[in-house]
Amino acid sequence: MTDVRPKQDRSRATRQRLLETTIRCLATHGWETSTVGFIAAEAGLSRGAVQHHYRTREALILGALEFMFEERAALLDALPEPTGAGTARVHRVVAGLVDTIGGELFRAALQVWTVAAADPELRAAVVPLERRFARGVHLRAVRLLGVDDTDPEVRALLQATLDMARGLALADVLTDDSRRRARVVRAWSTQLAAALQPISPDSHAK
């Protein structure tokens, strides 16, 4: 069957399929295996088709990384506005952040970070992307929790929450850590709700 979509739409769809395949290959097979040839085969494309969009492996990986951050940001934006108040509300937010930060996208990013740690050129390209993503996650956490991040204590608590989310994602790379993760998230949510309550905007207004 002939694909009658405009050429630009077909090119965009091919690029997205390529980037999604790159992420899956990195997450499942690792950096060493995820060559241009391997990714092309997994995507059902020729090597030439891949190089039409990304001339080098590094360009492809960076394109996938940026796409990765966009996808993770979209998942965070898709988190429902939490209802209720107190610990239950905080727990819903923290659990959503932990679930969104982990998973396949995190495992793929971890492969790139590991190589970037020893590759100055790759690191120089990755660090700005990571900083932009981290800032975006922080702002979304502020919005979902409804707190004032100009307060240094609030900022520290949010950073601790996001650091915990990344740590739990790392712990889940080798084994299914879901049961322990649920207990940690529940315990931290209780502590976070208690810490935030006295310094929430509503409490300042009273």
Q: Is residue 48 part of a domain?
A: no
Q: Is residue 191 part of a domain?
A: yes
Q: Is residue 44 part of a domain?
A: no
Q: Is residue 177 part of a domain?
A: yes
Which of 2-11, 19-28, 56-65 shows the lowest mean pLDDT across its residues? 2-11
Domain extent, residue 97, equals 57-205
**Distances in Å between the alpha carbon of 23 and those of 26, 41, 84, 162?**
5, 14, 36, 22
Record the pTM.
0.79
Tokens of 23: 């992420």
pLDDT tops 50 at residue 176: yes
**Count of CB atoms within 10 A of residue 194's CB?**
12
Q: How confident is the model at residue 183 (pLDDT cuts 50, 70, 90)?
A: very high
pLDDT tens string 72-128 = 788 878 877 777 678 998 999 999 899 888 888 899 999 999 999 999 998 998 899
Q: Is residue 31 part of a domain?
A: no
Q: Is residue 5 part of a domain?
A: no
Residue 192's Cβ-count burial label (10 Å; 0-12, 13-18, 19+) is buried
Residue 105: what pLDDT?
87
Quote the CA–CA distance of 97 and 48 in Å, as a whole number.
39
Q: Is residue 167 part of a domain?
A: yes
Residue 3: what pLDDT?
56
Give the chain's domain count.
Answer: 1
Q: Is residue 108 part of a domain?
A: yes
Q: How confident is the model at residue 205 (pLDDT cuts 50, 70, 90)?
A: very low
Q: How many residues does the chain have?
A: 206
pLDDT tops 80 at residue 142: yes
Helix (H, G, I), strand (E, B), or coil: what is residue 99? Answer: helix
